[in-house]
């Protein structure tokens, strides 16, 4: 059967994936045009052996609360199947991935968009013990299905267990552990789930990412910087079910085709809380912390300098520059070193992914106006300040390049502000514009003024 497409945009080449997480080398969450993942049709429903009695075969929706690690901040969904006749009690889990090649290899493949996940089964008790060790709350809801619907779902699960069907191309928003379960249930219900939830929510993907990474605030900020306008549209109700808690909430509103005592039963029943733990606590807003350090650094640059005349031998221009103590230049070097690495890495990620990554959420990102791959050039300058404890000398040949580079950065900040406040893009730039633009401009100007000294035919020691 065919499921609703995610968005009315032209499909891009190949398989375009989307992702909200930031793994080792990237902060990534990605999406844009892609070929909608669909559940392939079952050609022969009689090719798999059926249980002796579908009336004694039961399915349960298992919902796992969010965790506090990079890969579990959105929660998890699985399907429990319990056969009273055979005693089989297994959990179907679509969240398996291979890191046998090491985290660097996994991170690189993740950056390229080559993400293969797989279905695996595990005894229910063993799975619950693992979630207990991770201190994550678990809810279990019995799914009221009639025998025809159970047969459809059972056949789909048996098909999925075939070796050639175990692995699927993972997409964080559209084809993950929860959407697989959603699609299989919709198939079993003959499309009633997708037909009922056709509306649009008021929540964007960016808002979801920010709220779910509140316990890892630095990750939330990095994702906000790395993602483009693709994730700034409102989700449909169908799409919002990629979140495990949303799937459970929307399924609980549906009625089943099963009646008992002349009364129609809800689709989810016999709910129980298997494990209960407090959810991860929210952290300080990373933007706020980042701005605090930027402004503290700017204030220090303002007040830690003094006017001092160099000897005419040391500075033939006979100007009266502002200078700092050796310790001041060391602090300037350390701060600039971190800033150059951060800005250079972020800019390289956004620009490099535009050419080599399948994660289109990192393409055409307006944050490239602020974070440049060329900012790595600040590293040798920072190292001089750090180890030689003196300003960087500029002669008549090098001064224009340095001045033009800082001026270009200031123009980038101005263009960014104009684009945001002029409403010229669909990308949500509000966090960056509100928190970072002003302190970044102040720090750039102060470093420009304090870290360099113009010399003309001078001898610098």
Give the pLDDT mean for 310-320: 41
Convert the pLDDT of each residue in 226-270 to its tens digit.
999 999 999 999 999 999 999 999 999 999 999 988 899 999 999
The DSSP secondary-structure symbol of 370 reads: T
Task: Report the pLDDT value the prediction gives residue 319, as an integer from 0 to 100.
Answer: 46
Q: What does pLDDT average to over the chain? A: 83
Give the pLDDT mean for 8-32: 31
Answer with the one of 275, 309, 341 that is the final residue of a domain: 275
Task: Report the pLDDT value the prediction gives residue 56, as an integer from 0 to 100.
Answer: 93
Lowest-confidence segment of 139-148, 261-270, 325-334, 372-381 by average pLDDT: 325-334
> How far is CA 73 from its chain centroid?
10
Q: Look at residue 308 and tell me whether its pLDDT is greater than 60.
A: no
Task: Report the pLDDT value the prediction gives residue 188, as an integer from 0 to 100.
Answer: 97
Give the pLDDT mean for 100-121: 77
Give a yes or no: residue 385 inside a domain: yes
Cα 344 to Cα 340: distance, rounded to the nearest angstrom: 6
Domain match, 369 and 250 both? no
Give the pLDDT mean for 411-427: 97
Q: Look at residue 59 and tell me whether its pLDDT is greater than 70.
A: yes
Domain match, 270 and 291 both? no
Residue 19 · residue 45 · CB < 8 Å:
no
Domain match, 355 and 450 both? yes
Question: Which helix (H) or strand (E) is 330 found in, with range?
Answer: helix 326-356
Give a yes or no: residue 31 inside a domain: no
Task: Report the pLDDT value the prediction gives residue 281, as an integer from 0 to 100.
Answer: 87
Tokens representing residue 238 in the block: 């169908």
Give a yes or no: residue 204 inside a domain: yes
Task: Report the pLDDT value the prediction gives residue 328, as an integer from 0 to 100.
Answer: 87
The DSSP secondary-structure symbol of 267 reads: S
- 326-356 vs 378-388: helix crossing angle, rounded to 10: 160
Convert the pLDDT of each residue in 269-281 to its tens digit.
999 999 999 988 8
Q: Look at residue 43 and tell me whether its pLDDT is greater than 60.
A: no
Give the pLDDT mean for 190-196: 97
Tokens representing residue 163 in the block: 């070796």
Give a yes or no: residue 226 inside a domain: yes
Domain match, 237 and 312 both? no
- 347-384 CB burial, b ≥16 within 10 A, e <16: bbbbbebbeebbbbbbbebbbbbbbbbebeebeebbeb
Q: What angle do CA 201, 23, 25 make, to 5 degrees?
A: 130
Tokens representing residue 6 in the block: 């995610």
Give a yes or no: residue 48 inside a domain: no
Which residues constitute the domain of residue 363? 286-454
Convert the pLDDT of each residue in 153-165 to its tens digit.
999 999 999 999 9
Give the chain's radius of gyration (CA, Å).
Answer: 28
pLDDT tier, 312 (very low <50, low <70, confident <90, very high otherwise): very low
Domain match, 137 and 271 both? yes
pLDDT tier, 181 (very low <50, low <70, confident <90, very high otherwise): very high
Domain match, 237 and 377 both? no
Domain match, 238 and 305 both? no
Residue 216 · residue 190 · CB < 8 Å:
no
Q: With the CA atoms of 100, 103, 104 and 105 taken in that order, what torsion angle do they form, in degrees rounded to the nearest 10?
A: 30
Task: Report the pLDDT value the prediction gives residue 17, as an integer from 0 to 100.
Answer: 33
Cα 17 to Cα 412: distance, rounded to the nearest angstrom: 30
Answer with the one of 275, 300, 320 that is the final residue of a domain: 275
Q: Look at residue 289 and tell me whether its pLDDT is greater than 70.
A: yes
Answer with the one of 252, 275, 298 that is the final residue of a domain: 275
Number of domains composing the chain: 2
Give a yes or no: residue 160 inside a domain: yes
Domain match, 163 and 242 both? yes
Exposed/middle/buried for 425, CB within 10 Å: 0-12, 13-18, 19+?
Answer: middle
Tokens representing residue 419 in the block: 């684009």
Count Cα atoms within 13 angstroms, Cβ side, for 432. Answer: 27
Q: If you search the block for the tokens 């808002």, which residue do you land on? A: 207
Give percent of the chain with pLDDT exceeding 90: 62
Task: Report the pLDDT value the prediction gives residue 99, as an integer from 0 to 100.
Answer: 67
SS (H, E, C) 137-199: CEEEEEECCCHHHHHHHHHHHHHHCCHHHCEEECECCCECHHHHHHHHHHHHCCCHHHHHCCC
SS (H, E, C) 15-38: CCECCCCCCCCCCCCCCCCCCCCC
Give a yes or no: residue 358 inside a domain: yes
Q: Look at residue 11 and tell me whether its pLDDT is greater than 70.
A: no
Task: Report the pLDDT value the prediction gives residue 68, as an integer from 0 to 100.
Answer: 76
Cα 99 to Cα 5: distance, rounded to the nearest angstrom: 31
Q: Look at residue 2 and tell me whether its pLDDT is greater than 60.
A: no
Give a yes or no: residue 116 inside a domain: yes
Domain match, 343 and 267 both? no
Rounded to whole angstroms, the maximal C-alpha distance in the chain is: 102
Cα 274 to Cα 258: distance, rounded to the nearest angstrom: 25
Domain match, 122 and 269 both? yes
Domain match, 316 and 211 both? no
């Amino acid at each position: 059967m065919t499921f609703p497409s995610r968005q009315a945009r032209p499909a891009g080449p190949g398989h375009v994936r989307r992702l909200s997480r930031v793994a080792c080398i990237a902060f990534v969450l990605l999406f844009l045009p892609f070929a909608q993942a669909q559940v392939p049709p079952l050609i022969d429903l009689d090719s798999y052996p059926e249980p002796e009695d579908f009336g004694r075969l039961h399915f349960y929706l298992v919902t796992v609360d969010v965790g506090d690690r990079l890969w579990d901040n959105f929660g998890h969904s699985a399907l429990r199947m319990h056969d009273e006749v055979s005693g089989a009690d297994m959990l179907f889990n679509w969240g398996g991935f291979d890191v046998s090649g090491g985290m660097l290899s996994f991170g690189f493949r993740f950056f390229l968009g080559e993400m293969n996940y797989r279905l695996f089964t595990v005894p229910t008790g063993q799975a619950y013990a693992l979630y207990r060790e991770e201190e994550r709350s678990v809810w279990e809801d019995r799914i009221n299905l009639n025998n025809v619907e159970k047969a459809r779902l059972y056949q789909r699960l048996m098909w999925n267990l075939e070796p050639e069907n175990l692995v699927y191309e993972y997409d964080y928003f559209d084809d993950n552990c929860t959407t697989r379960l959603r699609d299989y249930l919709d198939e079993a219900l003959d499309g009633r789930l997708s037909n009922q939830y056709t509306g649009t929510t008021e929540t964007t993907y960016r808002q979801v990412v920010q709220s779910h990474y509140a316990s890892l605030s630095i990750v939330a900020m990095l994702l906000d910087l790395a993602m483009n306008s693709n994730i700034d549209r409102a989700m449909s109700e169908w799409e919002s079910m990629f979140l495990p808690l949303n799937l459970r909430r929307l399924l609980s509103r549906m009625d089943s085709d099963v009646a008992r005592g002349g009364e129609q039963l809800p689709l989810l029943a016999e709910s129980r809380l298997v494990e209960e733990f407090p959810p991860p606590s929210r952290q300080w807003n990373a933007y706020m912390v980042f701005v605090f350090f930027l402004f503290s650094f700017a204030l220090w640059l303002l007040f830690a300098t003094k006017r001092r005349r160099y000897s005419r031998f040391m500075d033939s221009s006979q100007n009266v520059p502002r200078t700092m103590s050796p310790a001041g230049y060391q602090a300037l070097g350390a701060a600039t070193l971190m800033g150059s690495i951060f800005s250079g890495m972020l800019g390289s990620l956004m620009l490099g992914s535009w050419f080599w990554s399948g994660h289109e959420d990192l393409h055409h990102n307006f944050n490239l106006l602020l974070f440049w791959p060329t900012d790595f050039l600040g590293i040798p300058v920072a190292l001089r300040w750090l180890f030689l404890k003196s300003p960087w000398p500029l002669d008549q040949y090098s001064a224009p390049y340095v001045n033009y580079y800082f001026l270009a950065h200031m123009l980038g900040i101005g263009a960014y502000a104009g684009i945001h406040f002029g409403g010229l893009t669909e990308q949500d730039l509000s966090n960056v514009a509100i928190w970072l633009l002003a302190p970044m401009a102040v720090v750039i100007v102060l470093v420009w003024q304090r870290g360099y000294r113009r010399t003309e035919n001078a001898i610098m020691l």
